[in-house]
Amino acid sequence: MLFKPDILLRSQWGATLPEYNNPNYRRYIEPIKEVYYGITLHHSAVVTKGTDDIPAMLRLIQAEHLNNGWADCGYHYLVDYNGRIYQGREIFVRGCHVAGGNTGRLGVCALGNYETAQEPTEELIESLVKLFAWYSNFLTIQNDQIQGHFFYNETACPGQHLIAELPKIKFMVKELLKTK
């Protein structure tokens, strides 16, 4: 069966309020099911394995994104190496995670450096699959529209180790959707 995965809310990790008056805080006017067509996978590029205070890391990411002028955390969801999923930016607000192409793309960040320092854990992959399957079903996102950040911009994000897992993740999403 397909169930919405457990998601830790912004209040649970101590997020500050978004800058509602910032021009980068763009609420979708249309129903979100008509807006979203893709999911973009990122990594935070900061080693997190062994980090006990993930909420503090999330607050640092949000503060960095606010300093960049993005009105809030740029990602809609963030997932740690233990597979915990954290709410970032509200889903009804356009993300700030793909230069020149945020509209209609759900932004998901895997916490960690998957380019040079970490391998993705099974818990991380399992949670990405559950989150991607849930939103693929809910928002009718096609499997070929689950992409890494590198697909849209010149970047190594989400890192070579996570990029290598992307075909497996997409296959697992497809299989999980068959059980709905």
- pLDDT at residue 68, rounded to an integer: 95
pLDDT mean over 44-59: 84
Residue type, 165: E
CA 94/CA 99 separation, integer angstroms: 12
pTM score of the predicted model? 0.95
pLDDT mean over 48-69: 89
Domains of the chain: 7-177 (3.40.80.10)
3-state secondary structure string across 97-126:
CCCCCCCCEEEEEECCCCCCCCCCCHHHHH
Sheet containing strand 105-110, strands side by side: 7-8, 85-87, 77-79, 105-110, 38-43, 146-148
pLDDT tens for each residue of 9-32: 999 999 999 999 999 899 999 999
pLDDT tens for each residue of 132-163: 999 999 999 999 999 999 888 898 999 999 99
pLDDT band at 52 (very low <50, low <70, confident <90, very high): confident
Neighbours of 178 (CB within 10 A): 8
- pLDDT at residue 48, rounded to an integer: 73
* CA–CA–CA angle 10, 12, 15 (5° rounding): 40
- pLDDT at residue 179, rounded to an integer: 87
pLDDT band at 90 (very low <50, low <70, confident <90, very high): very high
